[in-house]
Amino acid sequence: MTKTYYLTTPIYYVNGKPHIGHAYTNILCDTLARYHRMLGEPVCFLTGTDEHGTKVAKAALAAGKTPQAYVDALVPHFKELWRVLGVTYDFFIRTTDERHKQYVRSVLTDLEAKKEIYKASYQGWYCTPCESFWTELQLKDGKCPDCHRGVDQIEEENYFFKLAHHQAWLLDYIEKHEDFIRPAHRRNEVLGFLRHETLEDLCITRPQSRLRWGIEYPNSKDHVVYVWFDALLNYTSAPHFAIEGKKETDFWPADVQLLGKDIVRQHAIYWPIMLKAMGLPMPRTLLVHGWWKIGETKMSKSLGNVVNPTEIAAKYGVDALRYFLLNEVTLGMDGTYSEDLLMERYSSDLANGLGNLWHRTASMIEKYFDGILPQVEFPQLKQSLMGPSMGLLDLVWGNMEQYDPRGALAEVWQVIQRANQFVEENKPWVLAKDPAPKTDLESVIVTLAETVFRVAVILMIFMPDTAKKILQRLNQPTIGKLIPNSGQFSEIHLVPGTRIEKGEPLFPRLDD
């Protein structure tokens, strides 16, 4: 049986509403999921919420609610955002789900039996916002090396997960698996760290005297599980109960795990070692993207400089936001978010590019052929445009296999641009005045319709609402599985005699 293509996003802290940064990760993951579904693969796309730990407990306290009531009230905002943005996840995990808690406890019991976990007294510097312990050496100017805030000296008895004795194995594994951490600059950072620093065992509990909001450690009334240990396990926990009749090995190992560059250490160091200790295989790829910034600063809940994706989607349309986020930066790099930039792209690429191409094609079918697609034999179609449009699937495939949605969109927009030029070059309005039979006009118009059709098929991956609108207006039934490098994409054609509906502008001009 074909293994399910399993993709995951981080599970987000429920300490505020999601912003453009969270939307970005889930739109990326959705794009990959749609792409694999289009290739006909069974797909499981997991997202969810990380509901335990200090951050959430503090936010609940500030809101005057119990943590459970607080997360219960916020989780629907995440689900609603994913619905609005067309994020087609297959399963949404919440770490307060009893089944997840049970799974975490069973893993801990197993790891204790395997002597991967031990109990010890610990003294160290603790950063409360990051929930991390640091050694004297790791501190930077006496401050937390991650967030640069103050740290407290703490001594307490805790459970520890052995990281140190797996360091050589992890280094070797990453060296031998080029695709394990992508892009390469992130892989190199992790390799550099593993070559030059010594891992310390990970403190995986918090005394209940300091934090009560977490999964109770098995057989201990005194400790809760460290939020990161609990959270990372969502990726293997969900498959246990996500889909009835399926088992963990139908999904795990994940094919791709998406994450932002802020959480590389947890995913590229703790997580593989946890999996190794549990006796599970490694995910194929950890795909690390950059940050959306406002000016020079990361957009972040705790800094409060966030942009609400629901508002942007309501103003410009969901697909304008999806297009902007996917197209503005190469996956892995940081991007600067600004509404002005989004408006520029909207006008140039969407309204004047794709919107204009659809509008003029449909208008001409309406005007010259009463809205009915004329019949033209394939050899009569204009190869100068049919060539690029028929080659689009293979080019998109090449980019998507390299996790490069921006590169894929660039190929699509080249065809759109080429098609708009083709209209200028062929001047159908002049051909229409020719008293001779309309064969040339017919072949120009059908070539355009065929091109816009192929563009729409590909855009199902990136901009599903717009793609669906175009396909509906072209009266096309849903497109089945696509097979790259097979010539199949050249053979799908519009049916002559089909009625075409122009419809409202796809991307109304902003000044309207």
Stretch that binds ligand ME8, among 6-14, 440-448, 459-467, 502-510 (CB under 6 A): 6-14
For position 27 contacting ligand ME8 by CB under 6 A, the verdict is no
Given the complex with ligand ME8, which of 261 and 438 has the nearer CB atom? 261
Ramachandran region, residue 16 (left: φ > 0; alpha: ψ -120 to 50; beta: rest):
left
Judge whether 117 and 159 are in contact, CB under 8 Å: yes
Question: Can you spell out the DSSP letters for 117-170?
Answer: EEEEEEEEEEETTTTEEE-TTT-BTTB-TTT--B-EEEEEEEEEE--GGGHHHH
Instruction: Give least dist CB 13 to ligand ME8, A.
Output: 4
Consecutive H or E run containing 45: strand 43-50
Among 22, 206, 454, 473, binds ligand ME8 (CB under 6 A): 22
For position 139 contacting ligand ME8 by CB under 6 A, the verdict is no
For position 259 contacting ligand ME8 by CB under 6 A, the verdict is yes
* Phi, psi of 14, rounded to the nearest 5 degrees: -95, 65
Given the complex with ligand ME8, which of 182 and 454 has the nearer CB atom? 182
Stretch that binds ligand ME8, among 170-178, 254-262, 275-283, 438-446 (CB under 6 A): 254-262
Neighbours of 325 (CB within 10 A): 26
Instruction: Give least dist CB 49 to ligand ME8, A.
Output: 8
Neighbours of 333 (CB within 10 A): 14
How far apart are the C-alpha atoms of 432 and 437, rounded to whole Å?
Answer: 9
Judge whether 359 and 376 are in contact, CB under 8 Å: no
CB-based contacts of 340, cutoff 8 Å, min separation 6 = none
Given the complex with ligand ME8, which of 27 and 392 has the nearer CB atom? 27
For position 59 contacting ligand ME8 by CB under 6 A, the verdict is no
**Closest CB to ligand ME8: residue number:** 21
How far apart are the C-alpha atoms of 503 and 363, rounded to whole Å?
Answer: 10
How far apart are the C-alpha atoms of 238 and 296, rounded to whole Å?
Answer: 37
Consecutive H or E run containing 43: strand 43-50
Residue with tokens 């549990």: 278
For position 25 contacting ligand ME8 by CB under 6 A, the verdict is yes
Given the complex with ligand ME8, which of 102 and 498 has the nearer CB atom? 102
Given the complex with ligand ME8, which of 260 and 388 has the nearer CB atom? 260
Given the complex with ligand ME8, which of 156 and 262 has the nearer CB atom? 262
For position 299 contacting ligand ME8 by CB under 6 A, the verdict is yes
Q: Is 400 helix (H, G, I), strand (E, B) or coil?
A: helix
For position 388 contacting ligand ME8 by CB under 6 A, the verdict is no
Among 41, 131, 201, 262, binds ligand ME8 (CB under 6 A): 262
Instruction: Give least dist CB 290 to ligand ME8, A.
Output: 7
For position 50 contacting ligand ME8 by CB under 6 A, the verdict is yes
Q: Is 335 helix (H, G, I), strand (E, B) or coil?
A: strand
For position 263 contacting ligand ME8 by CB under 6 A, the verdict is yes
Stretch that binds ligand ME8, among 164-172, 256-264, 354-362, 457-465 (CB under 6 A): 256-264
For position 204 contacting ligand ME8 by CB under 6 A, the verdict is no
In the complex, the residues that contact ligand ME8 under the rule CB under 6 A are 10-13, 21-22, 24-25, 50, 231-232, 234, 259-260, 262-263, 291-292, 298-300
